[in-house]
């Protein structure tokens, strides 16, 4: 493939993302997609991925903050952009100028946004957040439903503030044990929306993240907010929409050393060779986003065979024991992804990290180029 793979690279399959988009659209009926591309599209490269998603029909995006929204605007993204974190009063002018929608997180926040928009003689667009159980942003519903409804009515009538949508984010309790609580959260949000409708207020509604989009079709509402499900970094679920994995992390062998038995390997040292060994030096380390929690536990793939990681992960390098395989300088090392019949799944790496699948590509640092593949061919890379 004709692109820079001399060191370490993250390879993203655009066809897999397009297939995930098709599957989600087929399963959500009349609902629309809000593509969640926060944290640089979970590490996949938000500008490139967002432009590709626009090409295949996505018109609404969600990011974490105004800075991420502006990155998309500077990259030429034309669709709607919602910040899932609050825009601050000092940011209102920039947000209005660039047609960014804010998360309205409280009555105080709404009043502050209103005051600044009125001062500017402008109107700030927003979606109001309701808290159905996350205890993060939003008007708390549990035990104070009527108060939340009254606060919403007040916010909806503030000058300089145009409330276009209402949403929540469920705490995503694990199946099967969390099913009852998940349905309780859904019921709280639905009750709030119905009470507002009875008082004459209707908004565009969204509450389903990737997990809830897959498993709970009753909460698809006007929009679903999908990140990992769309981008191919999601957990395989027992039922519901299944995504195609779209991401692989690869590197290369830079050197192979013949090392005697009993020799230390890497810092510490925490590892020694138990026999005369062939040690491969691979140019990927914690500065590239690999977690040291995997050292002395993980195996990576070389030429279709798993080989053990030995010793501490360095800032820029790690070492593999390739004594038992035919390996040479320049061979590809697959950290996660496929090499022949051997596959290292994202979930397997996530278990070694002690985290979620979404964390694994998200923490890959900017010095690792993002390489985009379509129809089996290189079509671009992150800058």
Is 38 an active-site residue?
yes
Among 38, 129, 250, 312, the one annotated catalytic:
38
| 31 φ/ψ angles, rounded to the nearest 5 degrees | -70, 160
| 68 φ/ψ angles, rounded to the nearest 5 degrees | -70, -35
Query: What six digits make up the tokens of 359?
Result: 């964390």
82: which strand partners? 62, 101
Query: What six digits make up the tokens of 101?
Result: 């929608």
Query: Which residues, 6+ apart, have CB-to-CB distance to 256 below 8 Å?
Result: 278, 279, 280, 281, 322, 327, 328, 329
Is 48 an active-site residue?
no
Pick from 335, 329, 322, 334: nearest CA to 254: 329
Query: Which residues, 6+ apart, have CB-to-CB distance to 292 below 8 Å?
Result: 286, 312, 313
> Which helix (H) or strand (E) is 271 found in, with range?
none
Q: How far apart are CA 142 and CA 92, in angstroms?
A: 30
Among 97, 257, 267, 377, the one annotated catalytic:
267
3-state secondary structure of 62: strand
DSSP secondary structure string, 306-367? EEEB-S---SS-EEEE-TTS---TT-EEEEEEEETTEEE-HHHHHHHHTS-TTHHHHT--TT
Other C-beta atoms closer than 10 Å to the C-beta of 229 total: 29
Contact (Cβ atoms closer than 8 angstroms) between residue 81 and residue 100: yes
Q: How far apart are CA 357 and CA 270, in angstroms?
A: 28
HSE-up (13 A, CA, CB side) for residue 2: 2
Other C-beta atoms closer than 10 Å to the C-beta of 14 total: 22
> Which helix (H) or strand (E) is 233 found in, with range?
none
Residues classed as catalytic: 38, 267
């Amino acid at each position: 493939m004709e692109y820079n793979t001399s060191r370490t690279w993250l390879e993203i399959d655009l066809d897999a993302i397009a297939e995930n988009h098709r599957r989600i659209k087929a399963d959500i009926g009349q609902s629309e997609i809000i593509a969640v591309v926060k944290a640089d599209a979970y590490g996949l490269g938000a500008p490139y991925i967002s432009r590709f998603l626009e090409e295949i029909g996505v018109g609404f995006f969600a990011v974490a903050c105004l800075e991420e929204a502006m990155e998309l605007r500077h990259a030429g993204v034309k669709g709607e952009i919602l910040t899932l974190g609050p825009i601050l009063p000092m940011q209102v002018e920039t947000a209005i100028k660039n047609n960014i929608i804010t998360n309205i997180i409280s009555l105080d926040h709404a009043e502050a946004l209103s005051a600044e928009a009125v001062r500017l003689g402008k109107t700030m667009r927003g979606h109001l957040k309701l808290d159905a159980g996350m205890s993060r942003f939003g008007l708390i519903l549990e035990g104070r439903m009527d108060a939340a409804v009254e606060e919403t009515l007040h916010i909806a009538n503030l000058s300089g503030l145009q409330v276009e949508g209402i949403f929540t984010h469920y705490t995503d309790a694990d199946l099967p044990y969390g099913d009852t609580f998940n349905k309780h959260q859904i019921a709280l949000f639905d009750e709030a929306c119905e009470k507002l409708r009875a008082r004459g207020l209707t908004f565009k509604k969204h509450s389903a993240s990737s997990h809830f989009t897959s498993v709970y079709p009753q909460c698809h509402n006007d929009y679903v907010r999908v990140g990992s499900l769309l981008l191919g970094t999601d957990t395989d679920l027992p039922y519901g929409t299944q995504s195609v994995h779209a991401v692989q992390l690869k590197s290369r062998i830079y050197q192979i050393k013949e090392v005697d038995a009993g020799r230390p390997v890497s810092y510490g040292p925490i590892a020694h060779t138990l026999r005369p060994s062939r040690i491969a030096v691979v140019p990927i380390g914690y500065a590239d986003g690999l977690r040291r929690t995997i050292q002395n536990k993980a195996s990576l793939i070389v030429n279709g065979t798993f080989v053990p990681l030995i010793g501490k992960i360095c800032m820029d390098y790690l070492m593999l024991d390739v004594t038992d395989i035919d390996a040479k300088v320049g061979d590809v090392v697959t950290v996660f992804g496929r090499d022949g019949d051997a596959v290292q799944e994202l979930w397997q790496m996530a278990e070694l990290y002690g985290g979620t699948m979404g964390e694994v590509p998200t923490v890959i640092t900017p010095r690792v180029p993002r390489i985009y593949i379509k129809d089996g061919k290189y079509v671009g890379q992150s800058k």
